[in-house]
Structure 1
Amino acid sequence: MTDLVLKEQIGPVLKVTLNAPERRNPISDIEMIDALAQAMIDADATPSVRAVILTGAGSAFSSGGDVKKMAPGQGLRDEAPVNTRTNYMRGIQRLPMLFEALEVPVVAAVNGPAIGAGCDLACMCDVRIASEKAVFAESFVKVGLVPGDGGAWLLPRIVGFSKACEMALTGEVLSAAQALACGLVSRVVGPDDLLSEAIDIANMIAGNPRHAVRMTKRLLRKAHGTTLADTLELSAAMQALAHTTPDHEEAVSAFTERRGPSFSD
């Protein structure tokens, strides 16, 4: 059987590819969820991985849920609703919790349609760039469902409450240009340039001190759901740690000596 998730190390960057192109890379199957989760856990635990790129094989980033497996007894849906609830919690809902806990930065290189849970998967990443061929839709209502994977929490924090409501209540498909305009992605590039652009961004991240990058990401994530006072307190604690790292000392020395820094961590 073909690996559902492919991994390729490119220097300090790990490229992770959803690899079910014949089905447009759905992420609702437990096998895909397990494979993606394990790839991200391994990346987070590997010091040589300074950044991750997440993309899809073939023409799609991810079609989200597999509509063909939404009948009772298939996919996440059980004959008993209480079991369906458990299936969601132990299945696809593991992904937003995992991505929220990751310290390694993740860049989504959205190569094609990111639909439903696929759109939400992109939202779980820290940076999103899109091919001109990418489209996005929070389309659960189109099949009579709600965002069951955390999209109701993710999307408003990225595009704002009003735009998130518009996307989720209409199921409207956004072009890459529209996604850029509302802040869903930060860059749109030609299809042939997507991977190189993602690698450039990931390498810029990877070129900075690892501990500072990971703590900065943690601060940004924590700030989503806490007060300014709590964020400042956590910032002070992390800054106290950052001041003691060899990479901080090297950065200061390099600045005063007017040379490029050589980070060790």
Structure 2
Amino acid sequence: MSDILLTEHRGHVTLLTLNRPQAMNSLDYPLYMALEDAVRVSEARAIVITGAGDRAFCSGDDVKQILSKGAPSTPEMAERAKRTGGLTPAADALLHTDIPVIAAINGFALGWGAELAIMADIRVMADTAKWGEIFVKRGLCCDAPGLGRLAQLVGREKASELLFTGDIIDAAEAKAIGLVSRVLPQDDLLPTALAIAQKIAANPPQAVRALKAGLRRTLDPDWRDTGKWAITEIRKLMQTEDAKESAAAFLEKRDPVFTGR
């Protein structure tokens, strides 16, 4: 497995660690693809996902490599997306796996990092971590998970507030609104996530997978249809002046000026 995604097997539990701490574990195209591949080939009974270091779980798309270029994909990513109907391939893997996924949110979870967290079945969060669907601040709409899962977790009104404002919330608020199940000191975070995963992995695996499949059948939308709509909107929005201004302002460390164009 690539060194940008560390894979550790602990019995029937697999720990996946996003390993770009110098870039706050942001996602470039190789990391997106490595994450997708790791989930698709996994034979684990439970997966734990976290980020390297204490600063970030995942800060979303790498602004320098993705958002500032105004292009949503490389040819290989585009080819993968064709197979998922347009849904982000890593999201397709996570949303359709029957393996329980636990997110150990050790730091900032922003943008697609926030999406990654809410795609997990269970979220535990460090008391110093923060979470935010900041797509609107980039002149974009969120990906399919934010549209299809956030309101399930926190209710439509709170989801609307978080999506429309792009507010970043702390761990205490995340726990209060039902976004995460537990808030823990940083040193206790990963051991707790792994303990939950080991408890799940000790149960009959076919029964666990059937339960997860049943939850998806009962609660989830058509992810590929939603993803196709979302990527179409994102591609259009990435060509707007506001989206380009947001990326430029981020790189230039200044406040953006949006014009509605």
TM-score range (shorter-chain normalised) is 0.7 to 0.9
CA positional deviation for 1:203 = 1.0
- Secondary structure of the structure 2 residue equivalent to 1:103: coil
2:68 corresponding residue in structure 1: 71
String of CA shifts for 1:197-235, please: whole Å, max 9, x gaps. Answer: 011100110111010000001111111148xxxxxxxxx
Higher relative contact order (CA 8 A, sep 6+): 2
Instruction: State yes or no: 1:114 paired with 2:113.
Output: no
1:97 corresponding residue in structure 2: 92
Instruction: State yes or no: 1:24 paired with 2:24.
Output: yes
**Greater Rg, structure 1 or structure 2?**
1
Contact 1:54/1:107 (<8 A) preserved = yes
d(CA) in 1 for partners of 2:161, 2:188 = 30
TM-score for both structures, normalised by structure 2: 0.76
Contact 2:134/2:166 (<8 A) preserved = yes
1:185 corresponding residue in structure 2: 180
d(CA) in 1 for partners of 2:137, 2:79 = 22
Instruction: State yes or no: 1:206 paired with 2:206.
Output: no
Moved more, 124-133 or 91-100: 91-100
**Letter of the aligned partner of 1:68 in structure 2?**
K
2:36 corresponding residue in structure 1: 37
1:3 corresponding residue in structure 2: 3
CA positional deviation for 1:92 = 7.0
String of CA shifts for 1:212-263, please: whole Å, max 9, x gaps. Answer: 000001111111148xxxxxxxxxxxxxxxxxxxxxxxxxxxxxxxxxxxxx
Change beyond 3 A, Cα 1:203–1:77: closer
Contact 2:47/2:197 (<8 A) preserved = yes
d(CA) in 1 for partners of 2:38, 2:5 = 8
Moved more, 142-151 or 112-121: 142-151
2:123 pairs with one of 109, 125, 128: 128
Contact 1:93/1:150 (<8 A) preserved = no
Q: Which consecutive residues of structure 2, in runs of 5 or more, have no partner in the other structure?
A: 222-261
CA positional deviation for 1:154 = 2.1
Contact 1:24/1:61 (<8 A) preserved = yes
CA positional deviation for 1:77 = 6.2
d(CA) in 2 for partners of 1:87, 1:118 = 23
Q: Calculate percent identity across the aligned residue pairs.
A: 40
Instruction: State yes or no: 1:217 paired with 2:216.
Output: no
Q: CA RMSD in A?
A: 2.3
Instruction: State yes or no: 1:157 paired with 2:156.
Output: no
Contact 2:115/2:143 (<8 A) preserved = no
**Letter of the aligned partner of 1:94 in structure 2?**
P
Change beyond 3 A, Cα 1:77–1:11: closer
CA positional deviation for 1:89 = 4.0
**Letter of the aligned partner of 1:71 in structure 2?**
S
Contact 1:33/1:92 (<8 A) preserved = no
1:262 corresponding residue in structure 2: none
- Secondary structure of the structure 1 residue equivalent to 2:60: coil
TM-score for both structures, normalised by structure 1: 0.75
Change beyond 3 A, Cα 1:148–1:89: farther
